[in-house]
Amino acid sequence: MTQVLVAGVLIVVAVIVATAIQAARRPAPPTQPALGQVPAQLDRRDFASPSAPWLVVVFTSATCHTCADVVAKAAVLGCGEVAVDEAEYRTRTDVHRRYHIDAVPLLVVADGAGVVRASFVGPVTATDLWAAVAEVRRPGSSPEPHLGQPTES
């Protein structure tokens, strides 16, 4: 009888532990396009200042020389309305995997809901970056509203 009671307690403990582990896991990110494409949406909790109205994320790698230049240009945009976050591959591999990032530098501009409104793959000029962010924040403010928008292939 004691053995049955001990086995029952062990089963209950195992179920509780399994339930706790399952609850602690992060939910899947929003549906993403195929590899080699820019994420369509971000979970804002994965990045700095999730409550800021706008987010600029630069996915980088320590071995990428162009990445540092893109990060420097993006950093200037940081303010109360715009959070800027660098996701360097070695220190944030989980984020790169979660969003299927396979090329750097990749810069995305997301709104408060995490919807990616503009992006750049590779080097970008400060003028183009700043104009694209201005345009998504205030449509009609840029003479080149197509900057950072997907191109038709």
Is 83 among the domain residues?
yes
Question: Which residue in the block uniquely carries the two structure tokens 């009671």?
Answer: 5
Structure-block tokens of residue 106: 């990749």
- The rounded distance, in Å, linking the Cα atoms of 38 and 1 is 60
**Assessment of whether the complete model's pTM goes beyond 0.85:** no
Is 94 among the domain residues?
yes
Confidence of residue 28 (pLDDT cuts 50, 70, 90): low
Is 17 among the domain residues?
no
- The rounded distance, in Å, linking the Cα atoms of 119 and 125 is 13
**Which CATH number characterizes residue 115's domain?**
3.40.30.10
Is 18 among the domain residues?
no
Is 21 among the domain residues?
no
Is 93 among the domain residues?
yes
Is 35 among the domain residues?
no
Is 64 among the domain residues?
yes
- The rounded distance, in Å, linking the Cα atoms of 21 and 144 is 49
**Which three-class secondary structure state does DSSP give residue 102?**
coil
**Which three-class secondary structure state does DSSP give residue 67?**
helix
Q: Give how many domains the chain has, as a whole number.
A: 1
| pLDDT, tens digit, 9 for 90 and up, residues 54-82 | 999 999 999 999 999 999 999 999 999 99
- The rounded distance, in Å, linking the Cα atoms of 35 and 6 is 50
Closest CA to 66 of 10, 6, 107: 107
Side chain identity at 26, as an amino acid letter?
R
- Structural domain including 100 reads 44-137
Closest CA to 77 of 56, 108, 48: 56
**What are φ and ψ of residue 56, in 5° steps?**
-115, 120
| pLDDT, tens digit, 9 for 90 and up, residues 33-57 | 554 689 999 999 999 999 999 999 9
Side chain identity at 133, as an amino acid letter?
V
* 128, 122 Cβ separation under 8 angstroms: no
